[in-house]
């Protein structure tokens, strides 16, 4: 699809909104919905995509964690299915779930599974059904930092918790020195950045701290940041940008946002060696996940406390949230076709090419079966 055509179509649809503008304007995306510079975004369209009469447009919102993956998927899918336009606004998991339960979007992305009250709310828009969680994207939550002269940094869960809780405030603190005896740590104030919007990334980051450093992280967790102090930015791209431009900064975001020289922390998990934030190491941790959802819901329980060698436990799984029954007739064909593609072998391959982790084979096979049953 030519860029000029996409621009004309975007202008024609400019009046439509889902909690704001629906154009793909997030950092790193272009007008065609592809991630600029993404690993697979320039590849030829998959030849085995089933479009199933998908046409018109799909409106979606949610997780910014998967935004780069969605952009790459959209670019390939719409090259094969040119009758369908997909507008995904990565406004954060909280915004996505709200838009879904209000009937504003065909599907939503969330880094946290639906809560009971959200499932109840979804029944009002899923005629005869309810919202379900389909795990589709995995990956490490990287802790990025910007400290001049420090190219390698190891932190453990208690130290991370104290940094983000304002208990460790300087880069030459004794706890950081102990973990990094060879590093030249400066006498420099720590600038800790967290998400300002309700975020599944925040939820999973703090679940890791709760599971591994509860005494140093005395909070309940959830999508909303609870600790006092620190600085905030909107979206994963916003946090990454603040870390990149601020000497002394540290923040959390998905590995796909750790671009352009951003350095990431190695985790001391208790394994023999500190673990790097890589797709492969995240996959090892996600492979320990268990399906705990009931019925067609496939929500997962992650093992944040794993100490397995080479397993990076600070991970998240992004769910696509959709009605199991009662999807709108005008969006159901497009929704199924797109979800079918991203859950396919070709679609999951795109993830590893864009710094995300594919969903384990036994789980993604259940996702594929569930997608075919959507009605």
> What is the rounded distance in angstroms from the CA atom of residue 299 to the CA atom of residue 290?
8
> What is the rounded distance in angstroms from the CA atom of residue 198 to the CA atom of residue 235?
9
Cβ within 8 Å of residue 135, ≥6 positions away:
289, 298, 299, 300, 317, 318, 319, 359, 363, 364, 367
Digitized pLDDT (tens) for each residue of the chain, 375 residues in all: 433 443 444 333 333 333 333 333 333 333 323 333 333 444 455 657 889 888 899 999 999 999 999 999 999 999 999 999 999 999 999 999 999 999 999 999 999 999 999 999 999 999 999 999 999 999 999 999 999 999 999 999 999 999 999 999 999 999 999 999 999 999 999 999 999 999 999 999 999 999 999 999 999 999 999 999 999 999 999 999 999 999 999 999 999 899 888 999 999 999 999 999 999 999 999 999 999 999 999 999 999 999 999 999 999 999 999 999 999 999 999 999 999 999 999 999 999 899 899 999 999 999 999 999 999
> What is the rounded distance in angstroms from the CA atom of residue 35 to the CA atom of residue 32?
9
Instruction: Dig out the tokens for 124 from the structure.
Output: 């009002």
Residue 62: closest CA among 17, 87, 95: 95
> What is the rounded distance in angstroms from the CA atom of residue 143 to the CA atom of residue 250?
7
User: Do residues 18 and 59 touch, judged by C-beta distance below 8 A?
Assistant: yes
Residue 259: closest CA among 33, 35, 87, 74: 35
Q: With H, G, I as helix, E, B as strand and everything else as coil, classify residue 88.
A: strand
> What is the rounded distance in angstroms from the CA atom of residue 83 to the CA atom of residue 315?
35
What is the pTM for the complete model shown? 0.79
């Amino acid at each position: 699809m030519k860029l000029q055509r996409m621009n004309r179509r975007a202008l024609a649809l400019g009046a439509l909104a889902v909690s704001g503008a629906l154009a793909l304007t997030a950092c790193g995306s272009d007008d065609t919905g592809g991630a600029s510079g993404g690993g697979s975004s320039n590849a030829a369209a998959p030849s085995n995509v089933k479009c199933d009469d998908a046409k018109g447009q799909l409106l979606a919102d949610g997780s910014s964690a998967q935004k780069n993956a969605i952009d790459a998927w959209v670019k390939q899918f719409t090259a094969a299915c040119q009758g369908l336009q997909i507008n995904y606004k990565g406004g954060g998991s909280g915004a996505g779930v709200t838009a879904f339960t209000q009937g504003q979007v065909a599907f939503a992305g969330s880094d946290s599974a639906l809560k009971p009250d959200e499932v109840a709310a979804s029944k009002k828009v899923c005629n005869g059904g309810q919202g379900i969680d389909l795990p589709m994207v995995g990956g490490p939550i990287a802790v990025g930092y910007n400290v001049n002269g420090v190219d390698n940094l190891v932190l453990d869960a208690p130290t991370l918790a104290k940094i983000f809780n304002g208990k460790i405030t300087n880069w030459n603190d004794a706890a950081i020195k102990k973990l990094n005896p060879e590093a030249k740590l400066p006498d420099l104030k720590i600038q800790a950045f967290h998400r300002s919007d309700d975020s599944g990334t925040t939820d999973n980051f703090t679940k890791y701290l709760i599971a591994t450093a509860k005494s140093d992280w005395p909070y309940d967790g959830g999508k909303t940041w609870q600790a006092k102090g620190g600085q905030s930015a909107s979206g994963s791209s916003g946090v990454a940008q603040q870390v990149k431009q601020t000497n002394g900064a540290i923040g959390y975001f998905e590995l796909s946002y750790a671009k352009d020289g951003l350095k990431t922390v190695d985790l001391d998990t208790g394994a023999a060696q500190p673990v790097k934030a890589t797709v492969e190491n995240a996959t090892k941790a996600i492979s320990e996940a268990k399906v705990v959802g009931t019925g067609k819901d496939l929500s997962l329980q992650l093992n944040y406390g794993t100490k397995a060698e080479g397993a990076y436990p600070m991970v998240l799984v992004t769910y696509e949230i959709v009605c199991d029954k009662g999807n709108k007739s005008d969006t159901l064909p497009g929704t199924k076709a797109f979800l079918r593609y991203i859950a396919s072998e070709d679609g999951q391959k795109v993830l590893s090419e864009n710094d995300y982790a594919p969903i384990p084979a036994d789980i993604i096979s259940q996702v594929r079966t569930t997608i075919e049953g959507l009605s």
